[in-house]
Amino acid sequence: MNGPYIIDRGYNCYGLFNTVAVKGAFFVTRLLTGAVFEVAQELSVEEEGSKKGVLSDQKIRLGKGKKAVKGLLRLVTFQAADGKVYRFLTNRMDLPALLVCDLYHRRWEIELFFRFMKNYLKVKRFIGRSENAVLIQLYAALIAFLLLRLYAKIQEGSNQLTLQILRAAKHRLFARIPHHEITEYLARLQPG
């Protein structure tokens, strides 16, 4: 088990946090609103982090009694541009507070990518279970995604994939091509 693990806050499991830490890996997650913790130490917030929204950086003891996480954790509180406040929890004490926030925010880019794969590329489940089968399917989806982005750029001068572009691409991909056009095209590809 190596890391880092960027964990959705829905999986706030103190046993998991202990397991990850014992295995020598690190995690970043959002702390649940009703979490019980005790502040052990206030850390100073670097100037750049403060300017970009880091409100506080603390070492905490998470949980109480048998449910407590072993050792100290770090709690970074961040205020986004829209005013919303987020609390990020990690077992890494050496990273700048802003980087802790950024790691969690990067997680959402991955979530959006997989949502795109499910919704637009129709990769809702994997065809095979081996590592090779999953990688082939992911590479095929990535290639399709990049080709669609290229198509969007050529067609409309935009990097955005709109539903209209996806429909146009689907129409062209599955349009019937007369046999004579295919043979003429293949003949042009032949050397000499």
Which of 50, 75, 108 terminates a domain? The answer is: 108
Q: Is residue 27 part of a domain?
A: yes
What is the spatial distance between Cα 151 and Cα 149, in angstroms, rounded to a whole number?
A: 5
pLDDT at 150: 79
pLDDT at 156: 67
Regions of the chain with pLDDT less than 70 = 1-3, 9-11, 120-121, 156-163, 165, 169, 172-174, 192
Does residue 53 sit in the same domain as residue 104? yes
Give helix 131-156 / helix 163-173 axis angle, nearest 10°. 110
Does residue 67 sit in the same domain as residue 11? yes
pLDDT digits (tens, 9 = 90+) for 74-100: 999 999 999 999 999 999 999 999 999
What is the spatial distance between Cα 48 and Cα 119, in angstroms, rounded to a whole number?
A: 38
Q: Is the pTM of this model over 0.75?
A: no
Number of domains in the chain: 2
What is the spatial distance between Cα 64 and Cα 77, in angstroms, rounded to a whole number?
A: 21
Does residue 83 sit in the same domain as residue 49? yes
Asked if residue 40 lies in contact with residue 104, where contact means CB atoms within 8 angstroms, the answer is no
Domain interval for residue 35: 5-108
Q: Which two tokens stand for residue 84?
A: 């919303």
